[in-house]
Amino acid sequence: MPILNNGDCRIYWRGDGDTQLPGLLLGNSLGTDITLWDPMLESLMRHFYVVRFDTRGHGGSDAPPGPYSIDQLADDAQAVIAAARLTHYHYWGISLGGMIGMELAARKPTGLKKLVLSHTAAEFDPGIWDQRIAALKTGGMSAIIDGVIGRFFTPEFVLQNNIRLKRIRNIALSQAPAGYAACCGAIRDMDLYPRLARIQVPTLVVVGESDLSTPEARGQALVDHIKDARMVKVKSAHIAPPEIPTEYLAAVLPFIS
Ligand SMILES: O=C(O)CC1=CCC(=O)O1
């Protein structure tokens, strides 16, 4: 399994598909790992060399002591870009992955062609993250899991409780609480608005019609601050790949193809 060393942290990443195709770097949400994208992987591999990585604090990456910063997480993404030798690539990030994408694009890295900011925001009320970090300290991942799943998916999908939902639930439950909390700290402390004017690449902002974590107004604020940005809506809550993989792909693929 490919691992890179980025200072204090080993980052797990992998590339799938034909390295001669354009690159597509995918950024996960809080509480998930690279398998978040599995329902869409085969389709994506027809068009792209697909590179995924586990955010520090998650999955196969290390969880050094936090809190982390969005800057640090974007440094990790840049280390993955170098390790995977991506010279021409798009970046598609969901939620925390989108926040990393904003910072990455604001650095104007050579080779980045298009940016997809999905179900994400440039800042959050810090109080909700302090509460979540406190809950993690006392009760671990099981103290927050029902709230997380309730925000990730529509009530109908939660009721179905199918294998895709169970997988995401198990992945979230298996994260190290300290690593997850360290990422909560990065979200709590971020203010990406001043960075948005620096983004030059064409950007697609994806919003979920039933997303309570980052509702449409948060996506519209990104469109308003980024020079070349447009919005598309999908029928999802916060996390689309397991619930509406086909519709989600159809909403984004024309933009990056
Ligand atoms: O877990 C949530 O509440 C939703 C979320 C915020 C940032 C992220 O990646 O997921």
Cα dihedral angle (172, 176, 180, 183), rounded to 10 degrees? Answer: -140
Residues with CB under 6 Å of ligand 1 are 29-31, 95-96, 148, 151, 187, 213, 238
Question: Which pLDDT tens digit goes with each residue over 94-149?
Answer: 999 999 999 999 999 999 999 999 999 999 999 999 999 999 999 999 999 999 99
Whether residue 35 is predicted with pLDDT greater than 70 in this model: the reply is yes
Model pLDDT, residue 1: 58
Residue 250's pLDDT is 98
Q: What is the pLDDT of residue 257?
A: 93
State residue 144's pLDDT score: 98
Which of ligand 1's atoms lies nearest the C-alpha of 96? 9
- Closest atom of ligand 1 to 148 CA is 1
Report the run of H or E that residue 130 belongs to, with start and end: helix 126-139
Q: Where do the domains of the chain lie, and which CATH numbers do they carry?
A: 3-256 (3.40.50.1820)
Rounded mean pLDDT of the chain? Answer: 98
Q: What is the ipTM of this complex?
A: 0.94
What is the per-residue pLDDT across 171-222, written as a single tens digit (0 to 9) for each? 999 999 999 999 999 999 999 999 999 999 999 999 999 999 999 999 999 9
Taking only the tens place, the pLDDT of each residue in 40-97 is 999 999 999 999 999 999 999 999 999 999 999 999 999 999 999 999 999 999 999 9
Ligand 1, atom 6: closest residue by C-alpha: 95
The b/e string for 210-249 (b: 16+ C-beta within 10 A; e otherwise) is: bbebbbeebbebbbebbeebeebebebbbbbbbbbbeebb
